[in-house]
Structure 1
C-alpha cells in the first residue's frame, strides 16, 4: 500500500486511512439474559441525560444560586447576560487540560477549587445559562485530533469532549468557556471538526456544524525610513482577529513574563532588530489584539551609495509553500476563512529613483475561493506597497488542491523580487 503523507491544514489522519472498526453490539450471558451495547441515538440521549456527571450537571442550577445575581447584575438583554456568565466561568475556572464528555468533579466543586475538566466547565455553563433563563444545550464533539464521529451508527466512543450551544434571539452560539482568550461565540481550532451532536433532551438530539463565522485575520502596517547610511528605522503595527488572535494571545500567555516573550520574539526575527514592543487588548478578547514593535534594520550589504535593493515585506513573509504534495486526496481544512494584509510605507533618501520593481499582480481562484493582490507606488521619495491574501472559505476540496498549491507558489515568487533603486 502507498504511504499516507501528512501535510499542513488537515484533520486527523485516521479520517483518511481505510480501516474497518468494530464495536461490541450484544453480549449474551450463558445463563440467559443478554445486553445490547450498540444503540440508537434516542438510547444514547437518554443515557447521557440520566448520567449524574452529564445530565445531572446540567440540572444543577443550585450551584449558581448565590453568585448568579452578581454575575448578571445590570444586564438587560439575554445576549449580555449570556456573555457575562460565559466570561465569568472562563476567568474563574481554569481548564486542567483534560477532555471528556463527563464531569470530573462537578460544577460545584469546580467553582470552589477554580479548576476542572472541559465537561465541568461547559456543562456548568449550560446549567448557569438555563438558570438565567437563557436557552442552552450541551454539544458532544470529537476534537480535531480524535477523528470525525460516525454519522451512520451512533458510537459514543467517537466523542471525547463537550461544549455548549446557546439559542439567543433566533441565533445559535457555540461556546467553549474552557479555552482561555476564546471570545464568546467562537471555537478554537481543536474543536472545529466537522460536526457535533446537540443533546436537546432524553429523546432528541441532532447534528450541528462546528465552524467559525469570524475570519482569521492578520494585518501589518509598516512605517519606516531609510537614511543615507543604509540604516532603516520604523514601526510594525500588527493586528490580529479570529483564530489568529487566539493563537497569538495563547503564545504570549505561555511565557512567564512579557519580557521572556520579547526575548523569544527577537530570536525569531533575524532580518531586523527589535528595539521594543508592546501589546494592546491582551485580556479584552472581543477586541483586536494589537502588537506594536519598534525596529532597526542594517541594509549596508544591499546599500552601495549610488544604488540599493529593498524587499519591503520584512516581517512574517511567506517563504515556504505549505502545500508540497503532487496529489492530495483529502481536503485542506484551515479552520476558518483567512485574510492577511500588508500596508507598507517606506521613505527612502532624496536623490534616488525606482529603477526596477516587481510587477503589480492580481490572482483569483475559481468561484472567488481565494484572491491575491500586490500593488506598489513610488512617489515623492516614498514607496507604498499593499499586499492582500484572502482565502474566502475554510475548506478546499482535493480537486482544488493543485490550484491552491500554485496560488501560494506564485505568492512566494512575487515576494522574492526586490525593489531596485538608483541614484539620480
Structure 2
C-alpha cells in the first residue's frame, strides 16, 4: 500500500505526458528559416539563441490555485550550445499534501535533413524525477536527436498552491533572446509588490482590468489586473570579474505579496513597514532577545580593558578580545540558533552570536553601538521598497566613538579594527535602532586600499642585477597579505618565489606587522636575470606586475563594474647603472584618465646621470563604475597591462 501511495504521488507531481496544441502554434513551431539560421548577428559568440519565449500565469477559476504555462523555442548553433537541451523544472513542496506539480510536458527537436524539416518528439519515458531535498523536487528531461543547427521546442504547465509567491519571470539568461513575453492575471484579492530588476527596458508594458474574472462558490467575484510584458533583443548575461551575484543584474520581474483580502472581508497584511518590523525585532526571540540581554563585562574582560579611559582604545581592545577568543563556525543563519550563552560556552558560533557578543560588550562598556543588517555580495541586494527579512544574511556592529562611526566584524581573525570582510561590500545595510527607528546606511571602507612596491636595482661586481624590494599594502590588499603570511611564513615566501621565475629572493622580512595591523610591510633582496644579447641588456623593469592580463574581455557589459573599494597601485624603480652601461632606449611616458576623473594612469621614466627613475601609478577613484564606463575601463586596463608586460629599458655597454 505504501509503494502504491508513493507511485500515486509521483504521478500527481508529474502528470501524464501529452502533446498539446503548442506543437501547432506557428510561432512556436520551428520553421525552415529557423533551421537555416547559422549565427546571431548581434552576438557572434553565442552558442545558442532563444528565438521565442512565452509565459502566462493566472489563478484557476475552479481550483483557485496558481497556474503557469511556459513555451520556449531555442536555436542550437554548435556543440557548446547542447546544454540548452537539458531542461530542469524545480517544484516546491511544504509537506506531503501541499506541493507544486508539472503537467503536459511536450518537447521536440527539429533538424534539417536533405532540405526537409524532421521532427523528433521526446519520449515520456525519458522524463525523470529527482528529490533534491525535503522541499525541492527536480523534474528533468533532455531533448532527443540534438545536432548542430537543431531547433528545440518545449512547453509545460505548472500548478502551485502557493499564491503568496506569484510566479516570477526571467527575461535574461545565459544565452541571448530575440523575444520574451510574460502575461499575468492577478485577482484584486491579492495585492503584490511588482519589481522589475536588471535595468533593461520593456518594449511592451500594458495593464488592463478584466471584470469578474474569478467567481466564488458563495457568489462573490473579483476583478483581475491583466498585464503583458515583452522584452526583445536581450543580450546574454555573461559573468566577468568584479561583480556581485548575477541575481542583482538579471533582467526579470519579481512579486512579493503585500496584502490578501478575503471574499468574506478579512484582510491579512504580509508586507509590513519598517516601523512595524523595528517593533517586532525588539521582541524577536533570537536576534532581538540576544541584543537586549546584558553581559557580565567583569566576567569576560580583563581589568586592564575595563579600566581603559580612552573609548577608542577600549573599543579596539574589546574587539580584539572577541576576535581572538571566539571562532566563527562558518554559518550565516543570522536569524537562527543565535545564542551568546552557547558561544561563550563553546567558543564557537555563527555570525550573529559573535557580533552580538561584541555589540553587548561594547554597549555595556559605555560605547554607543547599533547592529547593522545587510546582504552579502553573493546573496544579492536587499530590496529597499519594503522589509524582506529573507534578503538579509549578515550582521555587523556599528560603533560611534568621538563623533566617528566604525563598522566592525569580529568573525575574521585577520581583520583590522574598522574594516569589514570583502563579502560585506554590497552597497548598503540597515541600521537597527530600537529608540530612533531603523534606517539605510552605506557600507563602504573608510580608506582607499593600496599596493606599493619600491625597487632598488644595481649591478654587482660580476655584472649581475641585484637589489632590494620594499612592499607595502593597505586595506584589503593588506588583509590578503596577512592571511597568506601569518598562518605559514615559509609557504608565503615560497609562493612569492614561485611567482617570479627569473628572480631569486632572499632575506625576506616583515616589519611592524601583526595579524590585525592596518598595513603589511615586507622587504627582501632580489637577484634578477635580465635578457642579454651581445653587449645589450633588455630589462623589463616590472619585477612584480600588478595585472598580467586585462580582466575585461566582453564586447559589452550591461551591469556595473564593482571593485568593492577604491584602489591604488604604485610601482617605483630606482636603477643605478654604474659606470658600465648607458640607456639606449626608454619606455614612453603615458598619462591617461578615466572620464570625470574617476581613475588615472601615470607612467614616466627619467634618466639623471647614471640613475634611472621610473614611476607607475594606477588609481581607481570609485568602488563601483556604471556600465557606461566599461569601454573606458577596458581600454584603461589594456594600457595598464601593456605598460607592465611590454615596457623595456634597453641598456648598452659604454
Please say if 1:119 is aligned against 2:352: yes
Structure with greater strand percent: 2
Structure with greater helix percent: 1
Q: Which runs of 5+ in 2 are unaligned?
A: 1-176, 178-234
Query: 1:5 maps to what in 2?
Result: 238
Q: Deviations over 1:375-416 (max 9, x none)?
A: 222234332211111111211111112111111111222231
Say which of 59, 79, 83 aligns to 2:316. 83
Say which of 462, 485, 491 aligns to 1:260. 491
Say which of 617, 622, 628 aligns to 1:388. 617
Moved more, 140-149 or 177-186: 177-186
Contact 1:278 1:291 in 2 (8 A): yes
CA distance in 2, matches of 1:248, 1:361: 30
Contact 1:63 1:107 in 2 (8 A): no
Q: Secondary structure at the match of 2:492?
A: helix
In the TM superposition, residue 284 of structure 1 has moved relative to its aligned partner by 5.3
Query: 1:212 maps to what in 2?
Result: 445
CA distance in 2, matches of 1:35, 1:346: 75
Say which of 543, 564, 578 aligns to 1:314. 543
CA distance in 1, matches of 2:451, 2:439: 35
Say which of 506, 528, 543 aligns to 1:297. 528
Query: 1:192 maps to what in 2?
Result: 425
Q: Deviations over 1:194-216 (max 9, x none)?
A: 11011101782110101012111
Q: Which runs of 5+ in 1 are unaligned?
A: none
Q: Deviations over 1:59-92 (max 9, x none)?
A: 2223434234626244213222222211111111
Please say if 1:278 is aligned against 2:513: no
In the TM superposition, residue 230 of structure 1 has moved relative to its aligned partner by 5.5
Contact 2:413 2:515 in 1 (8 A): no
TM-score (norm 2): 0.60
Query: Closer, same or farther in 2 for the Cα pair 1:349/1:203, shift >3 Å?
Result: closer
In the TM superposition, residue 270 of structure 1 has moved relative to its aligned partner by 2.1
In the TM superposition, residue 175 of structure 1 has moved relative to its aligned partner by 1.2
Query: Closer, same or farther in 2 for the Cα pair 1:111/1:71, shift >3 Å?
Result: farther
Say which of 247, 253, 256 aligns to 2:480. 247
CA distance in 1, matches of 2:300, 2:631: 55
CA distance in 2, matches of 1:264, 1:334: 25
Q: Deviations over 1:232-278 (max 9, x none)?
A: 2222211010111112212234x5x3212322332232232223423
In the TM superposition, residue 305 of structure 1 has moved relative to its aligned partner by 4.3
TM-score (norm 1): 0.91
Q: Secondary structure at the match of 1:248?
A: helix
Number of residue equivalences: 420
Query: 1:418 maps to what in 2?
Result: 648
Higher relative contact order (CA 8 A, sep 6+): 1
Query: 1:182 maps to what in 2?
Result: 415
In the TM superposition, residue 23 of structure 1 has moved relative to its aligned partner by 4.2
Q: Secondary structure at the match of 1:145?
A: coil
Q: Secondary structure at the match of 1:56?
A: helix
Larger Rg: 2
CA distance in 1, matches of 2:609, 2:366: 62
Contact 1:125 1:177 in 2 (8 A): yes
CA distance in 1, matches of 2:459, 2:427: 49
Q: Deviations over 1:323-377 (max 9, x none)?
A: 1122211111111111111111222352321111111221222222111111222
Contact 2:478 2:518 in 1 (8 A): no
Query: Closer, same or farther in 2 for the Cα pair 1:195/1:94, shift >3 Å?
Result: same
CA distance in 1, matches of 2:236, 2:556: 13
Query: 1:233 maps to what in 2?
Result: 466
Contact 2:603 2:615 in 1 (8 A): yes
CA distance in 2, matches of 1:232, 1:370: 34
CA distance in 2, matches of 1:393, 1:192: 13
Query: 1:152 maps to what in 2?
Result: 385
CA distance in 2, matches of 1:271, 1:37: 64
Q: Deviations over 1:15-48 (max 9, x none)?
A: 0002233445568999998864322222322222
